[in-house]
Amino acid sequence: MNRRPAIGRIKIHQTYTVEELALVTGCHKGTVRRWIAEGMRTIDDRRPSLVSGFEAKGFLSRRRAARKRPCAIGEFYCFRCREPRKPADGMVDCASVVGTSVNLQALCPACATVMHKRVSSDRLSAIERTCDVRRLGT
Ligand SMILES: [Zn+2]
């Protein structure tokens, strides 16, 4: 099970045990314990651990925002690595032109998966400043 926590269901003025937080977010208890290990603060060191809704909501929102990784102009999103990557060796293939857009391909430097990106052709020159763009068939 790899569900996204239901952050909106956490009430900021309530305190939660690990079990309650698991229930309200729809996640496993082990997942909640991992959040605590990763830095979600408990109210004190006593057992059972209690987390304020305010802290839980803040922690999970910050974490979600940090995981949204926008690609810079010369980067492609690798679906296997799940992060933006610069093309291996700076090599980009211009696979096809569709109207005013170009479909680009590049290899992920970490896992060699083919990454795809569609850009408008007027942004191609910006990519060409950092990458070696090969125009296939032209
Ligand atoms: Zn990759």
**What CATH number should be reported for the domain holding residue 58?**
1.10.10
Residue 95 lies inside a defined structural domain of this protein: yes
Residues 87 and 106 in one domain: yes
Whether the bond between 84 and the residue before it is cis, its omega within 30 degrees of 0, is no
Domain assignment of residue 47, given as a range: 7-67
Residues 56 and 80 in one domain: no
Single out the residue in 20, 37, 67 at which a domain terminates. Answer: 67
Sequence-ordered strand ranges (E) for 36-126:
50-52, 76-78, 83-85, 91-98, 101-107, 114-120
Residues 42 and 83 in one domain: no
Residue 25 lies inside a defined structural domain of this protein: yes
Residues 57 and 17 in one domain: yes
Single out the residue in 49, 67, 85 at which a domain terminates. Answer: 67
| Whole-number Å distance between alpha carbons of 131 and 109 | 13
96 CA from centroid of ligand 1 (Å): 22
Residue 28 lies inside a defined structural domain of this protein: yes
111 CA from centroid of ligand 1 (Å): 4
| Whole-number Å distance between alpha carbons of 71 and 77 | 7
136 CA from centroid of ligand 1 (Å): 23
Could you tell me which residue, 69 or 100, shows the higher pLDDT? 100
In this predicted structure, the answer to whether residue 1 has a pLDDT above a threshold of 50 is no
Q: Are 105 and 116 in contact (CB under 8 A)?
A: yes
* Number of domains making up the chain: 2
pLDDT digits (tens, 9 = 90+) for 24-49: 999 999 999 999 998 999 999 888 89
Residues 32 and 81 in one domain: no
pLDDT digits (tens, 9 = 90+) for 87-111: 999 999 998 888 899 999 999 999 9
110 CA from centroid of ligand 1 (Å): 5
Single out the residue in 67, 89, 104 at which a domain terminates. Answer: 67
Residues 6 or more apart whose Cβ sits within 8 Å of residue 27: 3, 5, 21
Residues 42 and 63 in one domain: yes
18 CA from centroid of ligand 1 (Å): 34
118 CA from centroid of ligand 1 (Å): 18
Residues 63 and 88 in one domain: no
Bridge partners of 104, per DSSP, are 94, 117
In this predicted structure, the answer to whether residue 138 has a pLDDT above a threshold of 70 is no
Residue 2 lies inside a defined structural domain of this protein: no
Residues 46 and 85 in one domain: no
Residue 1 lies inside a defined structural domain of this protein: no
HSE-up (13 A, CA, CB side) for residue 88: 13
